[in-house]
Amino acid sequence: MDVVAGQLFAGISQGSILLLIALGLALTFGQMGVINMAHGEFIMAGAYTAYVMQQVLGSAGISLMVSIPIGFVVGGLLGVILEATLIRRMYHRPLDTLLVTWGVSLILQQLARNIFGAPNVDVGSPGWLQGSIRVAGVDLASARLFIIVVSLTCVIALSLVIRFTTFGRRVRAVVQNRDLAETVGISTRATDRLTFFIGSGLAGVAGVALTLLGSTGPTLGTNYIVDAFLVVVVGGIGQIRGAVIAAFVLGLLQSIFQYTTTASMAKVLLFIAIVVFLQLRPQGIVSVRSRSLA
């Protein structure tokens, strides 16, 4: 029973990491249909933000809490700059957008190497996040519990913003019908830019959280970007609720596969499961409902 509970926690922990990474991607991909391969580098920027703040502030506990909002702003600003300079010129050209943002990701990786050096850097964890908490005979890593809390907090905050704010209503209108939204006076340009800021900012928060699990390097985001896109596609394009479900389901499946096989074979089995699922339900777990004209 302890082994099962441990694997369940490992799956939930893995799912929370995938969710935190994919949340911003689901927002931007769903609204603008942009395949942003540089999203992983916004994660990297958030991680390096945590490193810089720790060098400045010294205290690991204070620097971590300060790094979360600053990482959000850093990731958001990078997203806005990318959207304003390149992406806005390539809407409705997904292949061009993919290639351009992939090139931007390589540039940002090299820039990180030039600034911070090739070796990875370590960000210390505060004392209250070191070790584990024993619950019902199972040791739960404090750092992973913290990431779960941060992930769920971001989901709740984003859901409230989308559901109850003016910005959220504009986002929903643009997603459902961009042309009609423009005819009623909604500035789709401003909405796109703010959406990109929030989506990229969430990637920055994910980067700060990932420093609790390992070292930070220029290719940090590359290790997660494919999994993030899989979460978005399986959950349903632009569906936050679907992304939440998909992240935890994929996290649990990966944990189960890793327990019964090896890590590399678990990844293969997970890809096979995703392909089979998308063959049966190509629209994803949650799809947009619309009225039929028939």
Amino acid type, 211: T
User: Which pLDDT belongs to residue 3?
Assistant: 67
So where are the chain's domains? 2-221
Q: For residues 115 and 217, what is the distance between their CA atoms, to the nearest angstrom?
A: 11
Amino acid type, 226: V
Cβ burial 258-282 (10 Å sphere, 16+ → b, else e):
beeeeeeebbebbeebbeebeeeee
Q: For the whole prediction, is pTM greater than 0.85?
A: yes
Kindly state the tokens that stand for 225.
């970007």
46: nearest Cα among 214, 281, 248, 205? 205
Q: How many CA atoms lie within 13 A of 14 on its CB side?
A: 20
User: Which pLDDT belongs to residue 47?
Assistant: 93
User: Which pLDDT belongs to residue 106?
Assistant: 92
Q: For residues 244 and 84, what is the distance between their CA atoms, to the nearest angstrom?
A: 29
Collect all residues with Cβ–Cβ distance below 8 Å to 286 and sequence separation of at least 6: 235, 236, 239, 241, 242, 245
Q: In whole angstroms, how far apart are CA 124 and each of 17, 43, 210, 215, 217?
A: 19, 18, 12, 9, 15
User: Which pLDDT belongs to residue 50?
Assistant: 93
Q: For residues 174 and 159, what is the distance between their CA atoms, to the nearest angstrom?
A: 16
Using the structure block, give the residue that is written with the tokens 């304003």: 84
The secondary structure element, H or E, covering residue 7 is helix 2-32
pLDDT in tens, the chain (294 residues): 566 777 788 788 888 888 888 888 888 877 677 788 889 899 999 999 999 999 888 777 788 899 999 999 999 999 999 988 888 887 777 788 888 999 999 999 999 999 888 778 888 888 888 877 877 677 788 888 899 999 999 999 988 988 888 888 888 787 777 778 888 888 878 888 888 899 899 999 999 999 988 888 898 888 888 888 888 888 887 778 888 899 999 888 888 888 888 878 888 888 899 999 988 888 888 776 554 434
Q: In whole angstroms, how far apart are CA 82 and each of 199, 224, 225?
A: 12, 20, 17
Q: For residues 182 and 174, what is the distance between their CA atoms, to the nearest angstrom?
A: 8
Check if the beta carbon of residue 21 is closer than 8 Å to that of residue 224: yes
Check if the beta carbon of residue 200 is closer than 8 Å to that of residue 75: yes
Q: For residues 246 and 236, what is the distance between their CA atoms, to the nearest angstrom?
A: 9
User: Which pLDDT belongs to residue 293?
Assistant: 39
